[in-house]
Copies of this chain bind each other. A is one copy, B any other.
Amino acid sequence: MATQQKIRDYGIVIGSMKTGKRNSITDVEGVTVGHTTLDDGDMKTGVTAIVPHPGNLFKEKVLGATYVINGFGKTTGTIQIDELGTIETPIILTNTLSVGVCTNALVKYMLEQNPEIGRTTGTVNPIVCECNDMLLNDIRAGFVKEEHVFQALERASVDFDEGSVGAGTGMACFGFKGGIGSSSRLLEMSHGTYTIGVLVLSNFGLMKDFRLNGEPVGKKLSSVVPPPHKIEDQGSIIIVVATDLPVSERQLKRIMKRASVGLSRTGSYFGNGSGDLVIGFSTATKQPHFPTLSLLTMETIHETDIDQAFIAVADATEEAILNSMITAKTTIGRGGYTLYSLADFLGDSPAIL
Protein backbone atom coordinates (compact mmCIF):
# COMPACT_ATOMS: atom_id res chain seq x y z
CA MET A 1 0.00 0.00 0.00
CA ALA A 2 1.66 3.16 -1.21
CA THR A 3 1.22 6.38 0.69
CA GLN A 4 -1.59 8.33 -0.91
CA GLN A 5 -1.72 12.06 -1.44
CA LYS A 6 -4.74 13.38 0.40
CA ILE A 7 -6.38 16.78 0.03
CA ARG A 8 -4.18 18.34 2.74
CA ASP A 9 -1.17 17.46 0.61
CA TYR A 10 -2.58 19.94 -1.89
CA GLY A 11 -2.67 22.65 0.74
CA ILE A 12 -6.39 22.47 1.29
CA VAL A 13 -7.41 22.39 4.96
CA ILE A 14 -11.03 22.08 6.06
CA GLY A 15 -11.84 23.92 9.27
CA SER A 16 -9.50 24.58 12.13
CA MET A 17 -9.65 21.47 14.31
CA LYS A 18 -6.72 19.07 14.57
CA THR A 19 -6.87 15.72 12.79
CA GLY A 20 -5.89 12.40 14.33
CA LYS A 21 -2.59 10.75 13.53
CA ARG A 22 -3.71 9.10 10.28
CA ASN A 23 -6.46 11.63 9.46
CA SER A 24 -8.63 8.57 9.07
CA ILE A 25 -11.53 6.72 10.67
CA THR A 26 -8.98 4.26 12.07
CA ASP A 27 -7.70 6.99 14.38
CA VAL A 28 -10.59 5.87 16.57
CA GLU A 29 -8.97 3.19 18.71
CA GLY A 30 -9.93 -0.31 17.59
CA VAL A 31 -11.54 0.58 14.25
CA THR A 32 -10.20 -1.19 11.16
CA VAL A 33 -11.10 -1.13 7.46
CA GLY A 34 -10.58 -3.70 4.70
CA HIS A 35 -11.30 -3.82 0.97
CA THR A 36 -11.91 -6.30 -1.80
CA THR A 37 -11.42 -4.52 -5.12
CA LEU A 38 -12.91 -6.00 -8.30
CA ASP A 39 -11.40 -4.04 -11.15
CA ASP A 40 -11.22 -5.59 -14.58
CA GLY A 41 -12.88 -4.24 -17.73
CA ASP A 42 -16.59 -3.87 -17.09
CA MET A 43 -16.11 -5.17 -13.56
CA LYS A 44 -15.60 -2.08 -11.43
CA THR A 45 -16.98 -2.80 -8.02
CA GLY A 46 -16.09 -4.35 -4.68
CA VAL A 47 -16.62 -4.56 -0.97
CA THR A 48 -15.40 -2.46 1.96
CA ALA A 49 -15.71 -3.61 5.57
CA ILE A 50 -15.56 -1.31 8.59
CA VAL A 51 -14.95 -3.21 11.84
CA PRO A 52 -15.84 -1.20 14.98
CA HIS A 53 -13.58 -3.14 17.36
CA PRO A 54 -11.36 -6.23 17.27
CA GLY A 55 -13.39 -8.28 19.75
CA ASN A 56 -16.57 -10.30 19.28
CA LEU A 57 -19.00 -7.62 18.10
CA PHE A 58 -22.07 -9.75 18.67
CA LYS A 59 -21.16 -10.33 22.31
CA GLU A 60 -19.83 -6.82 22.86
CA LYS A 61 -22.02 -4.49 20.85
CA VAL A 62 -21.15 -0.86 20.23
CA LEU A 63 -23.63 1.94 20.75
CA GLY A 64 -25.04 2.82 17.31
CA ALA A 65 -27.38 5.13 15.47
CA THR A 66 -28.49 5.93 11.93
CA TYR A 67 -29.50 9.11 10.18
CA VAL A 68 -31.19 9.26 6.80
CA ILE A 69 -30.30 12.41 4.84
CA ASN A 70 -32.14 11.28 1.72
CA GLY A 71 -33.69 7.84 1.75
CA PHE A 72 -33.35 6.84 -1.91
CA GLY A 73 -31.27 3.85 -0.81
CA LYS A 74 -31.33 0.20 0.16
CA THR A 75 -29.16 0.05 3.26
CA THR A 76 -30.18 -2.78 5.60
CA GLY A 77 -30.19 -3.10 9.37
CA THR A 78 -31.26 0.43 10.26
CA ILE A 79 -34.59 -0.45 11.87
CA GLN A 80 -32.96 -2.47 14.62
CA ILE A 81 -30.14 0.02 15.20
CA ASP A 82 -32.76 2.73 15.73
CA GLU A 83 -34.78 0.56 18.13
CA LEU A 84 -32.01 -0.97 20.23
CA GLY A 85 -29.23 1.60 19.84
CA THR A 86 -26.56 -0.98 19.12
CA ILE A 87 -24.46 -2.28 16.22
CA GLU A 88 -23.45 -5.94 16.49
CA THR A 89 -21.73 -6.68 13.16
CA PRO A 90 -19.11 -5.06 10.96
CA ILE A 91 -20.51 -2.54 8.46
CA ILE A 92 -20.28 -3.70 4.87
CA LEU A 93 -20.31 -1.32 1.89
CA THR A 94 -20.95 -2.54 -1.65
CA ASN A 95 -22.91 -1.83 -4.84
CA THR A 96 -26.66 -1.51 -4.67
CA LEU A 97 -27.58 -4.81 -6.34
CA SER A 98 -25.14 -6.80 -4.16
CA VAL A 99 -26.79 -6.03 -0.83
CA GLY A 100 -28.40 -9.48 -0.75
CA VAL A 101 -25.15 -11.36 -1.38
CA CYS A 102 -23.28 -9.32 1.22
CA THR A 103 -26.07 -9.69 3.78
CA ASN A 104 -25.95 -13.43 3.36
CA ALA A 105 -22.15 -13.49 3.66
CA LEU A 106 -22.18 -11.30 6.73
CA VAL A 107 -24.77 -13.57 8.37
CA LYS A 108 -22.56 -16.60 7.65
CA TYR A 109 -19.54 -14.78 9.09
CA MET A 110 -21.45 -14.01 12.27
CA LEU A 111 -22.86 -17.55 12.57
CA GLU A 112 -19.33 -18.92 12.25
CA GLN A 113 -18.11 -16.68 15.08
CA ASN A 114 -21.15 -17.24 17.27
CA PRO A 115 -22.41 -20.81 17.42
CA GLU A 116 -25.12 -19.74 19.86
CA ILE A 117 -27.04 -17.71 17.25
CA GLY A 118 -30.18 -19.56 16.20
CA ARG A 119 -29.64 -22.13 18.93
CA THR A 120 -29.60 -20.69 22.41
CA THR A 121 -29.84 -17.02 21.52
CA GLY A 122 -31.72 -15.06 18.85
CA THR A 123 -30.66 -13.60 15.55
CA VAL A 124 -28.14 -11.10 14.30
CA ASN A 125 -28.70 -7.78 12.56
CA PRO A 126 -26.36 -7.41 9.55
CA ILE A 127 -25.52 -3.89 8.35
CA VAL A 128 -24.98 -3.53 4.62
CA CYS A 129 -24.87 -0.14 2.88
CA GLU A 130 -24.73 0.59 -0.81
CA CYS A 131 -24.29 3.03 -3.67
CA ASN A 132 -25.02 2.44 -7.37
CA ASP A 133 -21.87 2.06 -9.49
CA MET A 134 -23.65 1.27 -12.79
CA LEU A 135 -21.95 4.16 -14.58
CA LEU A 136 -18.63 2.30 -14.65
CA ASN A 137 -19.64 -1.19 -13.51
CA ASP A 138 -21.77 -3.84 -15.19
CA ILE A 139 -23.93 -3.98 -12.09
CA ARG A 140 -26.36 -6.54 -13.56
CA ALA A 141 -23.52 -9.07 -13.82
CA GLY A 142 -23.43 -9.67 -10.07
CA PHE A 143 -19.65 -9.70 -9.69
CA VAL A 144 -19.68 -9.50 -5.91
CA LYS A 145 -19.61 -12.96 -4.29
CA GLU A 146 -19.77 -13.96 -0.65
CA GLU A 147 -16.03 -14.69 -0.57
CA HIS A 148 -15.36 -11.01 -1.31
CA VAL A 149 -17.01 -10.08 1.96
CA PHE A 150 -14.93 -12.58 3.89
CA GLN A 151 -11.77 -11.23 2.20
CA ALA A 152 -12.56 -7.62 3.04
CA LEU A 153 -13.17 -8.61 6.66
CA GLU A 154 -9.92 -10.55 6.85
CA ARG A 155 -7.94 -7.64 5.43
CA ALA A 156 -9.34 -5.10 7.88
CA SER A 157 -6.47 -3.01 9.23
CA VAL A 158 -5.76 0.45 10.57
CA ASP A 159 -3.98 1.22 7.31
CA PHE A 160 -6.16 1.09 4.24
CA ASP A 161 -6.28 2.66 0.81
CA GLU A 162 -8.72 5.36 -0.20
CA GLY A 163 -10.15 6.27 -3.60
CA SER A 164 -10.91 3.67 -6.29
CA VAL A 165 -10.82 0.70 -3.97
CA GLY A 166 -13.26 -1.74 -2.38
CA ALA A 167 -16.86 -0.61 -2.66
CA GLY A 168 -15.49 2.63 -4.14
CA THR A 169 -13.95 1.00 -7.22
CA GLY A 170 -16.72 2.08 -9.55
CA MET A 171 -18.16 5.15 -7.84
CA ALA A 172 -18.47 8.69 -9.23
CA CYS A 173 -18.48 11.98 -7.31
CA PHE A 174 -19.30 15.39 -8.76
CA GLY A 175 -18.58 13.99 -12.24
CA PHE A 176 -15.10 12.87 -11.16
CA LYS A 177 -13.98 9.48 -9.96
CA GLY A 178 -15.19 9.03 -6.38
CA GLY A 179 -15.03 6.18 -3.89
CA ILE A 180 -13.62 5.71 -0.41
CA GLY A 181 -12.33 8.69 1.57
CA SER A 182 -11.65 9.29 5.22
CA SER A 183 -10.71 11.98 7.69
CA SER A 184 -10.69 12.51 11.45
CA ARG A 185 -10.74 15.22 14.11
CA LEU A 186 -9.57 15.40 17.70
CA LEU A 187 -11.92 16.71 20.38
CA GLU A 188 -10.13 18.35 23.25
CA MET A 189 -12.44 18.53 26.23
CA SER A 190 -11.86 19.22 29.90
CA HIS A 191 -12.33 15.54 30.68
CA GLY A 192 -10.17 14.07 27.94
CA THR A 193 -9.23 13.98 24.29
CA TYR A 194 -11.48 12.04 21.94
CA THR A 195 -11.49 11.23 18.25
CA ILE A 196 -14.20 11.39 15.61
CA GLY A 197 -13.46 9.60 12.36
CA VAL A 198 -15.49 9.64 9.15
CA LEU A 199 -15.32 7.27 6.20
CA VAL A 200 -17.37 7.96 3.08
CA LEU A 201 -18.34 5.97 0.03
CA SER A 202 -18.92 8.90 -2.34
CA ASN A 203 -21.07 8.53 -5.42
CA PHE A 204 -23.12 11.69 -5.78
CA GLY A 205 -23.23 15.16 -7.25
CA LEU A 206 -22.97 17.02 -10.54
CA MET A 207 -19.69 18.62 -11.60
CA LYS A 208 -21.21 22.09 -11.98
CA ASP A 209 -22.19 22.09 -8.29
CA PHE A 210 -18.79 21.07 -6.86
CA ARG A 211 -17.31 23.36 -4.22
CA LEU A 212 -13.74 22.98 -3.05
CA ASN A 213 -13.51 24.33 0.50
CA GLY A 214 -16.30 26.80 -0.27
CA GLU A 215 -14.92 27.81 -3.67
CA PRO A 216 -17.50 27.12 -6.44
CA VAL A 217 -14.95 25.52 -8.77
CA GLY A 218 -17.48 23.20 -10.42
CA LYS A 219 -18.45 25.47 -13.26
CA LYS A 220 -14.85 26.23 -14.21
CA LEU A 221 -14.01 22.52 -14.10
CA SER A 222 -17.00 21.72 -16.29
CA SER A 223 -15.39 23.63 -19.09
CA VAL A 224 -12.05 21.90 -18.62
CA VAL A 225 -12.89 18.27 -17.90
CA PRO A 226 -13.69 16.26 -21.07
CA PRO A 227 -17.38 15.42 -21.44
CA PRO A 228 -19.82 13.75 -21.11
CA HIS A 229 -20.88 15.02 -17.68
CA LYS A 230 -23.85 13.56 -15.82
CA ILE A 231 -26.88 15.83 -15.64
CA GLU A 232 -28.90 14.13 -12.94
CA ASP A 233 -27.80 13.55 -9.35
CA GLN A 234 -28.36 9.84 -9.08
CA GLY A 235 -25.85 8.20 -6.89
CA SER A 236 -25.68 8.27 -3.14
CA ILE A 237 -23.21 8.69 -0.35
CA ILE A 238 -22.71 6.45 2.63
CA ILE A 239 -21.12 8.21 5.58
CA VAL A 240 -19.77 6.12 8.46
CA VAL A 241 -19.06 8.04 11.67
CA ALA A 242 -16.93 6.43 14.38
CA THR A 243 -16.00 7.90 17.71
CA ASP A 244 -14.73 7.06 21.18
CA LEU A 245 -16.64 9.99 22.66
CA PRO A 246 -18.93 8.90 25.51
CA VAL A 247 -22.42 9.71 24.23
CA SER A 248 -25.99 8.47 24.44
CA GLU A 249 -27.72 7.21 21.29
CA ARG A 250 -29.60 10.50 21.14
CA GLN A 251 -26.39 12.48 21.28
CA LEU A 252 -24.73 10.25 18.70
CA LYS A 253 -27.61 10.79 16.30
CA ARG A 254 -27.41 14.56 16.79
CA ILE A 255 -23.70 14.44 16.03
CA MET A 256 -24.18 12.26 12.96
CA LYS A 257 -26.81 14.61 11.56
CA ARG A 258 -24.08 17.24 11.11
CA ALA A 259 -22.51 15.05 8.44
CA SER A 260 -25.17 16.68 6.24
CA VAL A 261 -23.50 20.05 6.88
CA GLY A 262 -20.21 18.84 5.45
CA LEU A 263 -22.05 17.22 2.56
CA SER A 264 -23.89 20.48 1.81
CA ARG A 265 -20.66 22.44 1.80
CA THR A 266 -19.21 20.29 -0.99
CA GLY A 267 -22.12 21.30 -3.24
CA SER A 268 -24.72 18.62 -2.62
CA TYR A 269 -28.36 19.51 -2.17
CA PHE A 270 -29.27 15.88 -1.30
CA GLY A 271 -30.50 15.16 -4.85
CA ASN A 272 -33.71 13.18 -5.24
CA GLY A 273 -31.93 10.17 -6.73
CA SER A 274 -29.09 10.18 -4.21
CA GLY A 275 -29.41 7.83 -1.24
CA ASP A 276 -27.56 9.76 1.43
CA LEU A 277 -27.24 7.89 4.70
CA VAL A 278 -25.17 8.03 7.87
CA ILE A 279 -24.32 5.05 10.10
CA GLY A 280 -22.47 5.78 13.31
CA PHE A 281 -21.14 4.19 16.43
CA SER A 282 -19.37 5.04 19.65
CA THR A 283 -16.92 2.58 21.11
CA ALA A 284 -17.06 4.31 24.50
CA THR A 285 -19.98 2.21 25.68
CA LYS A 286 -20.06 -1.49 24.89
CA GLN A 287 -23.21 -3.48 25.58
CA PRO A 288 -22.89 -7.14 26.45
CA HIS A 289 -25.17 -9.50 24.50
CA PHE A 290 -25.68 -11.61 27.60
CA PRO A 291 -26.81 -9.19 30.29
CA THR A 292 -25.52 -9.20 33.82
CA LEU A 293 -27.73 -8.96 36.90
CA SER A 294 -26.71 -5.38 37.57
CA LEU A 295 -27.37 -2.08 35.81
CA LEU A 296 -25.26 -0.83 32.91
CA THR A 297 -23.19 2.25 33.61
CA MET A 298 -22.77 4.70 30.80
CA GLU A 299 -20.85 7.93 30.68
CA THR A 300 -21.98 10.76 28.45
CA ILE A 301 -20.85 14.26 27.70
CA HIS A 302 -22.89 17.25 28.80
CA GLU A 303 -25.00 18.60 25.96
CA THR A 304 -22.98 21.81 26.07
CA ASP A 305 -19.88 19.83 25.06
CA ILE A 306 -21.51 18.72 21.85
CA ASP A 307 -20.79 21.67 19.57
CA GLN A 308 -17.20 20.59 19.18
CA ALA A 309 -18.39 17.18 17.98
CA PHE A 310 -20.81 18.84 15.55
CA ILE A 311 -18.02 20.85 13.96
CA ALA A 312 -15.75 17.82 13.88
CA VAL A 313 -18.25 15.71 11.95
CA ALA A 314 -19.13 18.49 9.53
CA ASP A 315 -15.46 19.19 8.78
CA ALA A 316 -14.35 15.56 8.66
CA THR A 317 -17.21 14.67 6.30
CA GLU A 318 -16.32 17.50 3.94
CA GLU A 319 -12.67 16.48 4.02
CA ALA A 320 -13.42 12.75 3.63
CA ILE A 321 -15.41 13.51 0.47
CA LEU A 322 -12.52 15.54 -0.95
CA ASN A 323 -10.14 12.73 0.02
CA SER A 324 -12.32 10.19 -1.79
CA MET A 325 -12.01 12.27 -4.94
CA ILE A 326 -8.36 13.27 -4.76
CA THR A 327 -7.14 9.73 -4.04
CA ALA A 328 -9.29 8.12 -6.72
CA LYS A 329 -7.57 7.47 -10.01
CA THR A 330 -8.90 8.16 -13.50
CA THR A 331 -10.91 5.10 -14.45
CA ILE A 332 -12.30 3.76 -17.72
CA GLY A 333 -15.31 1.57 -17.05
CA ARG A 334 -18.25 -0.11 -18.71
CA GLY A 335 -18.61 0.81 -22.39
CA GLY A 336 -15.46 2.89 -22.21
CA TYR A 337 -17.03 5.52 -19.97
CA THR A 338 -14.25 7.56 -18.34
CA LEU A 339 -14.25 9.31 -14.99
CA TYR A 340 -11.26 11.53 -14.33
CA SER A 341 -9.44 11.97 -11.09
CA LEU A 342 -9.77 15.34 -9.45
CA ALA A 343 -6.02 15.02 -8.90
CA ASP A 344 -5.47 15.49 -12.63
CA PHE A 345 -6.83 19.01 -12.25
CA LEU A 346 -5.21 19.93 -8.94
CA GLY A 347 -1.67 18.87 -9.83
CA ASP A 348 1.57 20.72 -10.42
CA SER A 349 -0.05 23.16 -12.76
CA PRO A 350 -3.52 23.08 -11.28
CA ALA A 351 -6.37 24.04 -13.57
CA ILE A 352 -8.44 25.54 -10.82
CA LEU A 353 -6.35 26.93 -8.00
Known contacts A75-B79, A265-B265, A269-B311, then 20 further A-B pairs from the complex at CB < 8 Å, ordered by chain A residue? A68-B83, A70-B254, A71-B79, A71-B80, A71-B82, A72-B83, A73-B80, A74-B80, A78-B79, A101-B104, A103-B103, A117-B140, A214-B215, A248-B250, A257-B270, A270-B310, A272-B304, A296-B299, A296-B300, A297-B297
A51-88 vs B, CB cutoff 8 Å, 1 = contact: the mask equals 00000000000000000101111111111101111000
Min Cβ gap A259→B in Å is: 11
Interface centre among A99, A111, A232 (most CB of B within 10 A): A99
Complex Cα distance, B248 from A146, in Å, reads 37
Interface centre among A102, A111, A118 (most CB of B within 10 A): A118
Q: Given A71-B80, A264-B261 in contact, is the A314-B118 Cβ separation under 8 Å?
A: no
> Among A21-29, A121-129, A324-332, which stretch is in contact with chain B?
A121-129
> Among A150-158, A222-230, A286-294, A344-352, which stretch is in contact with chain B?
A286-294
Complex Cα distance, B132 from A241, in Å, reads 30
Min Cβ gap A317→B in Å is: 11
- Across-interface contacts of A270 in B (CB, < 8 A): 257-258, 261, 310
Q: Does A30 contact B (CB under 8 A)?
A: no
For the residues of A in contact with B, the DSSP-based class is mixed
Complex Cα distance, B95 from A117, in Å, reads 14
- Across-interface contacts of A273 in B (CB, < 8 A): 122, 307
